[in-house]
Structure 1
Amino acid sequence: MHRSIRTAVCAVAAVGLVFGLSACSEVSDAAKDKASDSVDKAVDGVDKAVNEEYEVTYEVTGKSIDSIQFAAGGGTATNPKLETVDKPALPWKKTVTLRGILPPSVLPIALDATGEAAVTCKIIYKGKPIAEESGKGLGAAGGCVAVSPIV
């Protein structure tokens, strides 16, 4: 008799386990669908950010600046297209259009043996500075790099 009760209890437990696991798989499928939707939205957001364009203005002031190198647009975020201006007239200003997560950057370089070189740079986005640096002395480099403002 005990054996038949044990068999019945095991059968009921097995049926309960089967129904419980199938319910979990239903929840799991719903959770997968929700996660998939979240991933799709994130991918859409990255795609939009990567293709969106923005404009920044580089400003450089100082004394004895030999060259200015800056991200001019084009290239990739890890390998941007850079342009160089030798012996720039100061103050120097340049507006460029960049795309996506490409970081705006400007690097003025002053190689003045007298030690009187001075460099200040700014990156302006929508009328507000998003990066500003200064440097003085021999080999002064007051480079500015900012995170893409659309990220």
Structure 2
Amino acid sequence: MTRATRTAICSVAVTGLALGLSSCSEAVDQVDKAVNETYVVTYEVTGKNVDSIGFHDGGGKAMDPKVETVTNPKLPWTKTVTLRGIMPAAVMPVAADIEGAEVECRITYKGKVLEEQSAGGLATAGGCIAESPIAG
């Protein structure tokens, strides 16, 4: 291999590396921006004999959100919260009733339903978890 060929190959490799690092830097900038951006969602829970409702309230870290809990909520229950970045919106009702528990949950963002679930039975736990609209 001639010196000119080696120089050309090295030049192409260095250019590719520089472009790759530039793209990586742009991705990091986008993640940083998304983590600091906020969005507002409304949680709604209806049903019968709901014992408690856990929900992400915007506290904590994006991948380890703080869960707030309401016990013996009055139904229908709604709560509007501000979340950050890639933090998922989540509402988790828990119900138990020997005659049959019923729960329905919904998460809305700007009037659009992000997630909706319903369940029933002797004991019901679960809920709705929606991806951050900022991440998608």
Residue 141 of structure 1 and its aligned partner are, at CA, apart by: 2.4
1:1-151 to 2 correspondence within 5 Å?
Answer: 17-115=2-100, 117-151=101-135
Higher-strand-fraction structure? 2
Task: Give the partner amino acid of 1:131.
Answer: E
Tell me if structure 2 keeps the 8 A contact 1:107–1:141.
yes
Rg bigger for which structure? 1
| Corresponding residue pairs, total | 135
- Alpha-carbon distance in structure 2 between the residues aligned to 1:43 and 1:23: 30
- Alpha-carbon distance in structure 2 between the residues aligned to 1:148 and 1:36: 27
Q: Mind listing any 5+ residue stretches in structure 1 that lack a counterpart?
A: 1-15
Q: Deviations over 1:42-64 (max 9, x none)?
A: 01000001111111000001111
Over the matched positions of the two proteins, sequence identity in percent amounts to 54
Q: Mind listing any 5+ residue stretches in structure 2 that lack a counterpart?
A: none
- Alpha-carbon distance in structure 2 between the residues aligned to 1:123 and 1:101: 16
With normalisation by structure 1, the TM-score equals 0.86
RMSD: 1.1
Q: Deviations over 1:4-46 (max 9, x none)?
A: xxxxxxxxxxxx6211011111111111111111111101000
**Secondary structure of the corresponding residue to residue 139 of structure 1:** strand
| Runs (4+) off by over 2 Å | none
Q: Deviations over 1:80-118 (max 9, x none)?
A: 111111111111000000001111100011111222x21
- Alpha-carbon distance in structure 1 between the residues aligned to 2:126 and 2:87: 20
Tell me if structure 1 keeps the 8 A contact 2:35–2:62.
no
